[in-house]
Amino acid sequence: MPHNIVETAREAGTLRTLLTAVDAAGLGDTLADEGPFTVFAPTDDAFAALPHGTVQGLLADPPALARVLTYHLVPGRITSAEITDDSEQETVEGSVLKIARNGGVTVNDATVIQADVEADNGVIHVIDRVLIPAA
């Protein structure tokens, strides 16, 4: 049975903090029903590596949280095979992510540790860091 992005992320088991943040920001329905999207999904460990209090601060500020989360979201379905050596992708948040291939795939300063997790309404690339948009 195919799954949407939220259900697929839930099944991964390592994206619980991301799913909590998606719910807190009110983005669950968007990621479940709309798309297609390419999601660069930080692991629980990536969120845990943020400075102390960062996650709690974001969870307490839904607009700021939504801005951070939509910075990890690109309209359309982009598989790792479609990523060129150096590309830029505009995010739902409105900023640009720099995506590169150099042995593996990097997104800004994060590394894709699991690529091409397929969902009905997009694709998830699991990354090892949380991306923070410029102020």
DSSP-derived secondary structure for 45-107 = HHHHTSPTTHHHHHHT-HHHHHHHHHTTEEES---GGG--SEEEEE-TTS-EEEEEEESEEEE
Summary mean pLDDT of the chain: 93
- pLDDT value of residue 49: 96
Q: Report the C-alpha gap between 134 and 12 in whole angstroms.
A: 29
* Exposure on the CB side of residue 49, measured as CA atoms within 13 A: 12
Whole-model pTM?
Answer: 0.94
Residues facing residue 97 across a β-bridge: 89
**Contact assessment for residue 89 and residue 96, using Cβ atoms and an 8 Å cutoff:** yes
Span 10-19, pLDDT tens digits: 999 999 999 9
| Per-residue confidence band for 2, with pLDDT thresholds at 50, 70 and 90 | low
Span 78-125, pLDDT tens digits: 999 988 778 899 999 999 999 998 888 999 999 999 999 999 999 999
Q: What is the mean pLDDT of residues 41-52?
A: 96
The three-point CA angle 14-16-20 to 5° equals 160
Go through the domains of the chain in sequence order and give each one's CATH number: 5-127 (2.30.180.10)
